[in-house]
Amino acid sequence: MADLRIVGRAVVDGRLIDEVTVEIDGERISSVNVGEVGSGPRLLLGKGQLLLPSATDLHVHLRDWNQAYKEDVFTGTSAAAAGGVTTVAEMPNTSPPIRSPEALRERLSLLAARAVVDYSVHVGALEKVEDAKRALELGACGMKLYPEDLERLEDYLKVSRESGMRLVVHAELEGGDEAKAVKMLLSRIRADDDIRFAHISRAESLRMIELAKEGLGARIKVEATPHHLLLSEEELDENSRRISAVRPPLASMADKQYVFSGLERCSVDFIASDHAPHTLEEKVSERRAPGFPGLEIMYPLMLTEWLEGRLKISTLLKKLCKAPAEYLGIPKGDIRKGFYADLVVFDTSVRWSISARDFLSKAKYTPFEGRKLSAKVVSVFRRGELVYNGCLLVKGGGMHVRELKHG
Ligand code: NCD
Ligand code: ZN
Ligand code: ZN
């Protein structure tokens, strides 16, 4: 007898099925069957409820350390859980930054103590091949290059080639030109380089990447954020505009539409939040700190795109769940026997408006404020354990993805 059976409507392997029984044993899914089968404890989904795999977000900033006033590992990963995201990959521009194996080790012990969801960490630009090798041994999932690192791109490409460390780039030149940076990067990389473009936002950039992907092969990967997929500079109201500063800046309607269409064309591989919290004071001050929280609303926002007919469910789940889990090499991201039971129950019969006041993130604002959604997170399971059910149910328990094994 399984520990729990979840019975109801679900999307399995990209297909919507009206009645499925998902059996959970310990941390994993032990069977998936059409119809109601088995006996023992049962969670029967209500009308309008839908069971989906939870998401993996490859691009988050959880702050903490010297910036714990903006966000900390506990509040950031609580926001993840509340948003149906049960695995996150952190970016290294913390204070102090994660630019050495020692800093990475320290970060991993903080995450082990405080994270509510499973995690991985990118390191910042490393200059020595030995350091990259040590970082890989510790489990780093990639090396993130920021605009200021691009001057020394050749050095980092060399480190990457010699160590096997994958690269992730924030492609923007000083002054903020994404397309120029993409062009420069594409001219320098080779077919066997493993490189992921973070938060691509411009049609011109994506067109160049599409050509290069065809020419160079599959090792180029592209992330897009919900804000670049769903918001444009032109559409913002006064209130959203106050806090909408972000890198890259929100683009035009045409850019937004082109990047969105890249989801179905498969030139956009991942949807990632770029959850980047600051205090409201930092946002509205002269400095206009770039970035805003996104973990809590990414999945409901994108699911609404499916419910309103603008995106296929199989595409959506591929970009939010399956592909990022594959990138991290973990058995998650689908409702499949042997995979971890990382699941989310959505209510798709409600209509609700985003209100950042309710965020578990310390940053309680969003340019999506007031937006109407057709999907709301009801409950979230992380490796078989109910971690969120309208409120957070755990104080920690997140694991380093390196510890997660194929079953
Ligand atoms: C990010 C941040 O605040 O750390 N800000 C942002 O606007 N995206 C940095 C980044 O991802 O480039
Ligand atoms: Zn960035
Ligand atoms: Zn970022």
CA of 209 to the centre of ligand 2 (A): 17
If one counts every other C-beta atom within 10 angstroms of the C-beta of residue 3, the result is 14
CA of 273 to the centre of ligand 3 (A): 8
Q: Can you spell out the DSSP letters for 190-205? A: -TT--EEE-S---HHH
276 Cβ below 6 A of ligand 1: yes
Q: Which residues of 253-272 are buried (b: 16+ CB within 10 A; e: fewer)?
A: eebbebbbebbeeebbbbbb
Residues designated catalytic: 274
**Whole-number pLDDT of residue 54:** 98
- In this structure, the strands spanning 195-197 and 220-224 are parallel
Q: Can you spell out the DSSP letters for 252-276? A: -HHHHHHHHHHHHHT---EE---B-
291 Cβ below 6 A of ligand 1: yes
**Positions of the chain with pLDDT lower than 50, given as ranges:** none
**Whole-number pLDDT of residue 218:** 67
Among protein residues, the one with the nearest Cα to ligand 1's atom 12 is: 247
97 Cβ below 6 A of ligand 1: no
Q: Which residues contact 7 (CB under 8 A, 6 or more apart)?
A: 19, 20, 21, 22, 36, 42, 43, 44, 45
CA of 92 to the centre of ligand 3 (A): 9
**Whole-number pLDDT of residue 216:** 78
**Ligand 1 atom at minimum distance from 198 CA:** 11
Distance CA 268, CA 224 (A): 7
User: Phi-psi region for residue 327, left (φ > 0), alpha (ψ -120 to 50) or beta?
Assistant: alpha
Among protein residues, the one with the nearest Cα to ligand 1's atom 4 is: 276
Distance CA 360, CA 337 (A): 32
Which class for 169: exposed (0-12), middle (13-18), buried (19 or more C-beta within 10 A)?
A: buried
CA of 173 to the centre of ligand 2 (A): 12
93 Cβ below 6 A of ligand 1: yes
Mutate to test the pocket of ligand 1, among 58, 60, 61 (most ligand atoms within 8 A of CB): 61
**Whole-number pLDDT of residue 86:** 99
**Whole-number pLDDT of residue 215:** 86
If one counts every other C-beta atom within 10 angstroms of the C-beta of residue 32, the result is 20
Amino acid identity, residue 306? W
CA of 91 to the centre of ligand 1 (A): 9
279 Cβ below 6 A of ligand 1: no
Whose CA is closest to 306, among 14, 59, 22, 21? 14
Residue 121 and residue 141 in contact, taking contact as beta carbons nearer than 8 Å? yes
Q: Which ligand sits closest to the CA of 88? A: 3
**Whole-number pLDDT of residue 175:** 79
Distance CA 401, CA 120 (A): 6
274 Cβ below 6 A of ligand 1: yes
Mutate to test the pocket of ligand 1, among 57, 62, 93, 170 (most ligand atoms within 8 A of CB): 93
268 Cβ below 6 A of ligand 1: no
Amino acid identity, residue 270? F
Whose CA is closest to 204, among 144, 252, 150, 236? 252
Amino acid identity, residue 181? A
152: DSSP letter: G
Return phi, psi of residue 42, to 5°. Answer: -135, 135
**Whole-number pLDDT of residue 321:** 98
> The pTM is what?
0.98
Residue 70 structure tokens: 């903006």
Residue ranges of E strands in 269-323: 270-271
CA of 146 to the centre of ligand 2 (A): 7
Mutate to test the pocket of ligand 1, among 91, 98, 148 (most ligand atoms within 8 A of CB): 91
Whose CA is closest to 374, among 299, 314, 263, 272? 299
Q: Which residues contact 391 (CB under 8 A, 6 or more apart)?
A: none
CA of 291 to the centre of ligand 1 (A): 5
Distance CA 381, CA 241 (A): 35
Q: Which ligand sits closest to the CA of 249? A: 1
Three-class HEC string of 354-404: CCHHHCCCCCCCCCCCCCEECCEEEEEEECCEEEECCCECCCCCCCEHHHC
- Whose tokens are 């057709």? That residue is 374
Residue 135 structure tokens: 């970082």
247 Cβ below 6 A of ligand 1: yes
170 Cβ below 6 A of ligand 1: yes
Distance CA 227, CA 229 (A): 5
CA of 29 to the centre of ligand 2 (A): 35
Distance CA 238, CA 219 (A): 41
Q: Which residues contact 101 (CB under 8 A, 6 or more apart)?
A: 131, 134, 135, 138
Mutate to test the pocket of ligand 1, among 66, 91, 274 (most ligand atoms within 8 A of CB): 274
Ion ligand 3 neighbours (CB, 5 A) are 274
Residue 168 and residue 145 in contact, taking contact as beta carbons nearer than 8 Å? yes
